[in-house]
Amino acid sequence: MVLGKVSFLVLIALDVALKNPKLHPSFDKNIPEKFDEMTETRYPGFPDYVDESTPVHPGMDAGYPVVVFGDHRLCAGNSQRVQRMPGPHMHSQIEFNLLSQGYMTYWFDGREVRLEENQMAMFWGMIPHQVIDCAPQTEFIVLYVPMSAFLEFPDLNKLRQNIFAGGLLQAKGFRAYDFGAFQRWREDLLSGDEYLEPLVRDELVARLRRLDKDGWTDLREAPSTRSRPVHHDPDHERAYKVEQMARFIGEHALDDIAIEQVANSVNLNAKYAMTLYKQTMGMTIKKTILRHRLDTARSMLIASDLSVATISFDCGFGSLSSFYEAFHQRFHLTPAEFRKSVLRDRVM
């Protein structure tokens, strides 16, 4: 997902109507569904759910939300079938969804957000998200872009700022060629051809620059607090180190980690690591660790039957009182009140 200087490739608009079935992902017959080639994780109440992700900590409770797709590489989802998910999950990549038919509803960072047919949306996977509803036969194309590559894409500072501030962004200017382009990118990435991956990156950059010009809509009902503008640094090594720090936090935030350990994971001194991380991500390392612990706890309150106390200590909080204080300060509910509200809403 890393590019030095990205060449700008122009996507040629196809002279066909948007509803042409040859462009529609539903008619793709060239790439088989590879369910028989992957490990299927079965969940109670979700007998047909197929999980394409790999848990970061397989030994933890099934409700632990942090997962990995494609070993953090630029990759595409095998399946085009949208499934209800048994619980929220989180991952380090930027996720792109292009809905080809039907509709789907995300639980996204505490809000319910609906995506409709012919909509393209994108968000940072570290924001807790879960598909809680979808129409039968709903289909989409999903791409996962590594964070370090996204940081290096040129001229996209405003877009990056909104993504890392927690937005779920829907493209305003849907193009007739989007279905064909996304389907080709999916095929190229699933082919395993290493020569095609940088081509997909270049073409995706061109589409994002078009999206940045056309604008987008944040599908959340209410905007989250905006972070400071993201600093664009074209240097690959720095972008890669920021991604590595974010991944280290994602995989170790539940342990008793300190800023020095995050910095040591990328061989930087703590002061420089803090400055680089904040300039790039718009938030401090300390705030990221706390946010990750709270997001993990909130996801486990939804997806597991573990007690509040157990979740508190499993998520790295030294005391139940500090967990309650931090949780209430961010979400304006106690953990027990949050769990009851989710259960009530799901039953209604």
φ, ψ at 212 (rounded to 5°): -65, -35
Tokens standing for 135? Answer: 């129409």
Domains of the chain (ranges plus CATH)? 25-218 (2.60.120.280), 236-347 (1.10.10.60)
Q: Which pLDDT tens digits describe the chain residue by residue (348 residues)?
A: 333 333 323 222 323 233 333 333 333 333 333 333 333 444 666 777 888 888 876 766 666 677 778 777 899 999 999 999 988 888 889 999 999 999 999 999 888 999 999 999 999 998 889 999 999 999 999 999 988 788 878 778 788 888 888 899 999 877 888 999 999 999 999 998 989 999 999 999 999 998 888 899 998 854 433 333 333 334 567 777 888 898 888 888 888 899 999 999 999 999 999 999 888 887 899 999 998 899 889 888 988 889 999 999 999 999 999 999 999 999 999 999 999 887 766 555
Query: Radius of gyration over alpha carbons of the chain, in Å?
Result: 20
Question: d(Cα 39, Cα 42) in Å, to the nearest integer?
Answer: 10
**Residue 245 CA to its chain's centroid (Å):** 17
Question: d(Cα 281, Cα 270) in Å, to the nearest integer?
Answer: 16
**Cβ atoms within 10 Å, residue 192:** 8
Please check whether residue 241 is in contact with residue 276, taking contact to mean a CB–CB distance below 8 angstroms: yes
Alpha helices in 165-306, H assignment, sequence order: 178-191, 196-214, 236-252, 259-264, 270-281, 285-303
